[in-house]
Amino acid sequence: MSPKRLEDMYDAVIVGAGAAGLSAALGLLRSPEITELKEQGVDPKILVVSKLQPLRSHTGSAEGGIAASLGNVESDDWHWHYYDTIKGGDWLVDQDAAKLLAEYAPQTVINLERQGVAFSRTEDGHIAQRRFGGHTREFGGAPVKRAAYAADRIGHQILHALWQQCVAAGVEFAEEWYVTDLVLADDGKQAAGIVAFDTHSGKIQAIHARNVLLATGGAGRLFHTTSNSWDLTGDGMALTLAAGLQLEDIEFVQFHPTGLAHTGILLSEAARAEGGILRNADGEPFMERYAPEHKDLAARDVVSRSIMAEIDAGRGVADPKDPDGPKDCVWLDMTGIDPERMKEVLPQVVETIEQYANLDPAKDLVPIKPTAHYTMGGIPITTDGEVYRWADGAVQVVDGLFAAGECSCVSVHGANRLGGNSLLDACLFGTRAGQTMAARIAENPVDSPMADDSADDMLTDAADQAADSRKAELDELLAGPIDDSDDGVPTANPYQLMAQLGSVMEQALAVRCTAQTIDTALTQINGDITPVADTLRTHDKTAAFNQEVTAIWEVRHLIELAEAMLHASESRQESRGSMQRLDFPERDDEHFLAHSMVADDGSVSFKPVHITDYPPKKREY
């Protein structure tokens, strides 16, 4: 779907149509303020822009569950969830935000059920729950069943339910439109709209808006091996940097412990929650040595580091598909799970293993290795979803600019995210951001006969100027490739460059890093990758349906984001959560119990962590 015509001015434009973007749209439209406006005959002008058809959003790939202390299977308490989230994030979590996350998690899950999410059920009809890594009872005690699930397809259920609700509410979508610019006005203090490339028509469009929300997902494509879908190229984060804003804690990238060997395809944590065990080449269930109490269901960063330690110690195994290849995997043993139970609650895991590994998990050991999975850091936001700058030791909110979901950082995940908290973050804080936008819209709606549109010319001019610049660049891209080879055949292409960047970043930052690996990556990017990216041109001169156009912009976004991530990693001289610095192996609360704030020029400042209830202590599982 594409809009039949663009409005001269929108009340709000939402970029991204996954769980966060759709939750924001629904939170906005269902708010008391918008309900009252509609009763007065004023309809807000809202547009959701997505680079994909919404049902292809990566939310649909989430498998295991959404965390909430419902207590349907075992007694639970949101205070325990609150504590687990802080501990899981290695105390780099803003506790005011984590408190909201845990306290309103049950309400969020129940609202999803009311909107049509078909959760799995207990025998008495309640929402079923399972164990997930790092979730405990009694503030770090025994594991607790907290993850509400729908077999192993919870993301699919949530995405479809939210999309159907948006369609029913009459939300307008611009599908397969790629956003190229976030436009700010008034010296970067006010959102003015976006510039987008309509891939169907091949045209650049200026979209004027008084409020903009970014919900563009993560950046797994920074790494060669990732569980993320092909489209997660960090667009929203890169657009924010290009607009002169900062990213928070972008050095923290979670590597999920169980990616199917050499494919990156995720095998859900639910496989271990149901009884799967990690084993090394000797058949030893090695997690007992690294996390004596929680074992295979310790926090994800702990499990990933333990796997890499086993591989480094020579106890890794080769992928059966390449028996003479490197021994850089370990086994996931699911043979102890009842086969019928496995098919009932892990159908997607079973299907993935059968189709991509040609193995039967009921009988065979499955080779796995850590895979880039989730970006803990991102665009800094308040608990109401407002994007801000950190300058002169204070938060400076950008009027009308919001973010939600994986591209944002409200800092409920800190240095490592607990399983089940990502969908919760997207739905809960997406809804809150939508409600905050609604309050702003109600103060001065575009369609109101009493509207004050005196500032609209400034916003429109800023967006139109950005669109003109992007049109000129598009003409340049379509002019044809630069001959950079000896035989007259151009060699540079964005897909090759993405693969090269992914390998560089994997060698630099995957699970562990040092100053040397970071410096090597920066040298390779600046010397070998960026100069080539600057010369990229399309091989076909047609703009419409030309995927190479968007691929060029995507790889440039990834390069910009990679440099920011490397600079932030370089500045954090400690090991915390998902970030293991081999040259700084200890956590350093004295100097680095703070959020990194990195700008486009690579400069890094630090912002204090909000600690209200639980002071830092040693993190053990």
Tokens at residue 575, please?
């090991």
Q: Comparing 234-238, 270-274, 520-524, 592-596, which segment has the lowest mean pLDDT? A: 270-274
| Residue-averaged pLDDT of the chain | 95
pLDDT tens digits, one per residue of 2-48: 888 899 999 999 999 999 999 999 999 999 999 999 999 999 999 99
Residue 480 confidence (pLDDT):
77
CB-CB neighbours of 283 under 10 Å: 10
Task: Give the per-residue pLDDT at 448.
Answer: 83
Is position 574 within any domain? Answer: yes
Q: What is the pTM of this model?
A: 0.94
Instruction: Give percent above pLDDT 90 in the chain.
Output: 92
In a domain, 130, yes or no: no
CB 49 within 8 A of CB 13: yes
Last-in-domain residue among 317, 344, 370: 370
Judge whether 362 lies within some domain: yes
352 closest CA partner among 471, 411, 264, 423: 264
Residue 483 has pLDDT above 70, yes or no: no
336, 370, 404 - which closes a domain: 370
What pLDDT, on the 0 to 100 scale, is given for residue 1? Answer: 73
Question: What does the pLDDT look like over 387-419, one tens digit per residue?
Answer: 999 999 999 999 999 999 999 999 999 999 999
95 part of a folded domain:
no
Name, in order, each residue with C-beta under 8 angstroms of 267's C-beta and a sequence gap of 6 or more.
258, 259, 260, 332, 349, 352, 353, 366, 368
Share of the chain above pLDDT 70, in %: 98
Q: Which residue has the higher pLDDT, 578 or 481?
A: 578
Q: Which residue segment(s) compose the domain that 535 sits in?
A: 478-589
Residue 595: how many CB atoms within 10 A of its CB?
21
Q: Residue 484: which pLDDT band, with cuts at 50, 70 and 90?
A: low
Distance of CA 178 to the CA centre of its chain: 18
Confidence band for 482, pLDDT divided at 50, 70 and 90: low
How many domains, in total, are found in the chain? 2
Residue pair 298/134 in contact by the 8 Å Cβ criterion: yes
Domain-located, residue 217: no
Q: Which of 345, 370, 395 is the last residue of a domain?
A: 370
pLDDT at 489 over 90: no
8 A C-beta contact, residue 351 and residue 207: no
Could you give the CA distance from residue 205 to residue 183 in angstroms, rounded to a whole number? 12
Write out the H or E segment, with its range, that includes residue 219: none
pLDDT at 476 over 50: yes
- Is 122 inside any structural domain? no
> What are the two backbone dihedrals, phi and then psi, of residue 233, each rounded to the nearest 5 degrees?
-110, 20
pLDDT of residue 422: 97
pLDDT at 177 over 80: yes
13 and 152 Cβ atoms separated by less than 8 Å: no
Model pLDDT for residues 96-123, shown as the tens digit of each residue: 999 999 999 999 999 999 999 999 999 9
The contacts of residue 520 (CB under 8 Å, 6+ apart) are: 507, 508
CA distance 319 to 160: 35
Say which residue, 115 or 270, is predicted with more confidence: 115
CB distance 342 to 353 below 8 Å: no
Chain-centre distance of CA 508, in angstroms?
A: 20
pLDDT tier for residue 491 given thresholds of 50, 70 and 90: low
Task: Specify the CATH number for the domain of residue 549.
Answer: 1.20.58.100
Report how far apart, in Å, the C-alpha atoms of 596 and of each of 219, 443, 495, 547, 589 are.
Answer: 18, 34, 31, 35, 13
* Cross-strand bridge partners of residue 564: none
> Model confidence over 588-597: pLDDT tens digits?
999 999 999 9
For 445-463, what is each residue's pLDDT tens digit?
998 887 778 888 999 999 9
Q: What is the pLDDT of residue 594?
A: 98
pLDDT (tens digit, 9 = 90+) per residue, 534-569? 999 999 999 999 999 999 999 999 999 999 999 999
130 among known catalytic residues: no
Mean pLDDT of 495-514: 95
Domain membership of residue 160 (yes or no) is no
Distance from C-alpha of 173 to C-alpha of 386, rounded to nearest angstrom:
23
114: Cβ contacts below 8 Å, ≥ 6 apart: none
Give the angle 378-301-529 at the CA atoms, nearest 5°.
50
What pLDDT score was predicted for residue 488?
47
CATH code at 267? 3.90.700.10
Token representation of residue 131: 């164990």
Residue 174 counted as domain residue = no
The residue-averaged pLDDT of 152-176 equals 96
The residue whose two tokens read 């993850």 is 147
Would you say residue 506 has pLDDT above 80? yes
Active-site option among 300, 389, 556, 619? 300
